[in-house]
Amino acid sequence: MYLLLVVFVLLMGAAVGWSIGANDAANSLGTAVGSKVLNLKQAIILIVIFGFLGAFLQGSYVTKTIGKGIVPLNELDKNISLYIAVVAVFAACAWVVLATYWKMPISTSHSIVGAVAGAGLAVNAPVKWKMLGDIFICWIFTPIGAAILGFLFYKALQNSFYRIIPRKYLKFTIAILIILSGCYVAYTWGANDVANAVGVISGTGVMTPRMCVIFGGLAIVLGIMTWGYKVIETIGSEITRLLPIMALSAQLASAVNVHVYTLFGIPVSTSHSIVGAICGVGLVRGVRVLNFRIMKDMILCWLATPFISGAVSFLVLKAITFFVRF
């Protein structure tokens, strides 16, 4: 039974990593593809490289939080920690897939955090409520912080960029900066989101933290290479409505924002960060970018996701306890 649980949790972790790569890759270099700075193949290669580097070099920060900071899986009985891991990853993955089918914008980070807490409650494992509270507060400030940074970056670049760079080098310089900032987004995305796939695996001790981030990074890479192009093309065509300096400011703001949270080991939504950054740069120009219907849907999804994935995780593990004695 133990070996079967290990195999299942690894498969589910790989599935979550694949889905992250397939769906979220566009948050980094979709702009460069849409503006014809890069073609799709070049963008995918850069996302693969920098996304994996982020996961490998700094993925352990958030992995520790998911694996030990919400429910201390490393302190529990091996079988119990594996059941929590399996059910949490299953619940998070199921809710993300269902919400994606319904075209609802949700965060894998929000989903896995709620699922781990729900599974822990189902078996009366200790849940670190203070850490959960800190994570929730950071979720609120993720889009707000990105919007402020986007506003400030665009304001600074708008006032100085065209005066500093000679006109004949302007187009080339902007293209290079968009690519570099997109690579930075890919790096921070890999560093923060790999934990959603392998955080609970690390917590159970099935793999070492380093092996976990490599495993999760490879799963994300597979997602980017197989289905990542679909969302990259979509985001790329939508985001070209931004002026090049606006796109550069939004990418840079989102990357810095997510990177700061990553260093503190906080799992946040890269999607919410880039949306907040785009709103921030839009407000500099006085553009009415705040679509309140979309904002309402985003807030409702943010509120619902951890509770729904937590409820699914709780109910599934409670049902299992009727058949399996811990």
Q: Is residue 24 situated within a structural domain?
A: yes
Q: Is residue 225 situated within a structural domain?
A: yes
Q: What is the CA radius of gyration of the chain?
A: 20
Q: Is residue 326 situated within a structural domain?
A: no
pLDDT at 299 over 90: no
The predicted pLDDT at position 293 comes to 64
Closest CA to 187 of 113, 254, 232, 92: 254
pLDDT 10s digits, 236-282: 555 445 678 888 898 999 999 999 999 999 999 887 888 788 888 87
Q: Is residue 152 situated within a structural domain?
A: yes
Number of domains comprising the chain: 1
Q: Is residue 1 situated within a structural domain?
A: no
- Of residues 33 and 42, more confidently modeled: 42
The predicted pLDDT at position 240 comes to 40
Q: Is residue 224 situated within a structural domain?
A: yes
Averaged pLDDT, 163-179 = 88
pLDDT 10s digits, 98-114: 776 676 667 889 999 99
pLDDT 10s digits, 15-38: 989 888 887 777 788 777 877 788
Closest CA to 15 of 197, 195, 212, 185: 197
Q: What is the Cα–Cα distance from 154 to 247, expressed in whole angstroms?
A: 9
Q: What do you get for the CA distance between the two ends of the chain, in Å?
A: 13
The predicted pLDDT at position 274 comes to 83
pLDDT at 94 over 60: yes
| Residue 227 CB neighbours (<10 A) | 16
Left, alpha or beta for 183 (phi > 0: left; psi -120 to 50: alpha)? Answer: alpha
Q: What is the Cα–Cα distance from 108 to 292, expressed in whole angstroms?
A: 23
Range with top average pLDDT, 103-112, 155-164, 224-233, 302-311:
302-311
Instruction: Please state, for a pLDDT cut of 90, what percent of the chain lies above it.
Output: 50
The predicted pLDDT at position 141 comes to 93
Is 0.85 surpassed by the pTM of this model? yes
Indicate the SS3 state at residue 268.
Answer: coil
Q: Is residue 3 situated within a structural domain?
A: no
Q: Note whether 216 and 83 are within 8 A (CB).
A: no
pLDDT at 121 over 50: yes
Q: Is residue 2 situated within a structural domain?
A: no
Q: What is the Cα–Cα distance from 71 to 125, expressed in whole angstroms?
A: 7
The predicted pLDDT at position 239 comes to 41
Of the pLDDT bands very low, low, confident and very high (cuts 50, 70, 90), residue 288 is low
Q: What is the Cα–Cα distance from 236 to 231, expressed in whole angstroms?
A: 8
Domain that holds residue 68: 8-321
